[in-house]
Amino acid sequence: MKKISLGLIGLALILGNLSYAQTAAQMDLQRVKLSAGMYLIDAQIAATPTQREVGLMFRKNMPASEGMLFAFEQASVQCFWMKNTELALTAAFVADDGTIINLADMKPQTTESHCSKQPVRYVLEMNKGWFDKKGLKAGFKLGGQPFETR
């Protein structure tokens, strides 16, 4: 009886840790410095399928000059939603050369899709309103290592 109880307790601990991992914010991703004119962005990079799936979910806050750059293997129409995301965000859909194709304001905790107007490899999420406050619109070119000519 004790072996069964200890086994069940161990299983409960393992499942509890898995559940925590699925609902924990990603805080330790690789970072890249981006520029938007005179403004600097400290962006975490979500480059793997799992990193992109979790994205900014479960975050309670994000500093004004930080964001998350979603990097995909190839350009395609990218669509984002806000399930389990507590922050209001603006997504910039970005071409390979750093040009913002379109912007989308996204409400927290929704499953409404926000898509790029053409195929892109990058999506940069910032706090909602960040691009507007800086006067950045579609057609503006971001700088940084991911957008440098290969």
The dihedrals phi and psi of 87, each to the nearest 5 degrees, come to: -95, 140
Does residue 138 lie within any of the structural domains? yes
Q: What is the pLDDT of residue 22?
A: 54
Distance, in Å, from the CA atom of 54 to the CA atom of 79, rounded to the nearest integer, reads 14
Does residue 9 lie within any of the structural domains? no
Does residue 2 lie within any of the structural domains? no
- Our count of domains for the chain comes to 1
* Domain around 64: 28-147
Model confidence pLDDT, tens digit, residues 23-34: 577 878 999 999
Does residue 39 lie within any of the structural domains? yes
Q: What is the pLDDT of residue 24?
A: 72
Does residue 106 lie within any of the structural domains? yes
Model confidence pLDDT, tens digit, residues 77-122: 999 999 999 999 999 999 999 999 999 999 999 999 999 999 999 9
Q: 72 with 48: CB under 8 angstroms?
A: no
Q: Domain holding 101: CATH number?
A: 2.60.120.1140
Does residue 73 lie within any of the structural domains? yes
Does residue 43 lie within any of the structural domains? yes
What is the gyration radius of the CA atoms in the chain, in angstroms?
18
pTM tops 0.85, yes or no:
no
Q: How far is CA 128 from CA 15, 115, 133, in A?
A: 35, 16, 10
pLDDT at 19 over 90: no
Residue 48 carries which side chain, given as an amino acid letter?
T
For residue 88, list its beta bridge partners.
none
